[in-house]
Amino acid sequence: MARPLKHIDKREFEILCGLQCTQAEIADFFDCDVDTIQAWCKREYKLSFSEVFRQKRGKGKISLRRKQWKLADTSPAMAIFLGKQILDQRDNFSIDIQENKLGWYKDND
């Protein structure tokens, strides 16, 4: 007699993928083995876990990006971070070095 199938809630599974949980973490959440998650994905989606994860993790990225943009309204640090990541803005540093009489190099402050 075969073991009964483990119930895995599809909505909860997709939320966990959106949170970027690993396959092992998802298996722990549902109190089962990673092979059970893999088999469930094959039955439910007709795809491997990695293929399903690749599709479902996008919602989590969208949610995080939305929160970062909202935070940028009140956090200069987040606005700077997003400017560097999205707009290729960079901090520019200039160092002027002059040779002194002993042949050593010294910063010119």
The confidence band for 103, taking pLDDT boundaries of 50, 70 and 90, is: low
pTM for this predicted structure: 0.67
Digit-coded pLDDT (tens) for 4-48: 888 999 999 999 999 999 999 999 999 999 999 999 999 999 999
pLDDT recorded at residue 92: 81
Report domain extents, the chain. Answer: 10-86
Residue whose C-alpha is closest to residue 49's, from 63, 60, 31, 35: 35
Distance, CA of 60 to CA of 14 (rounded, Å): 9
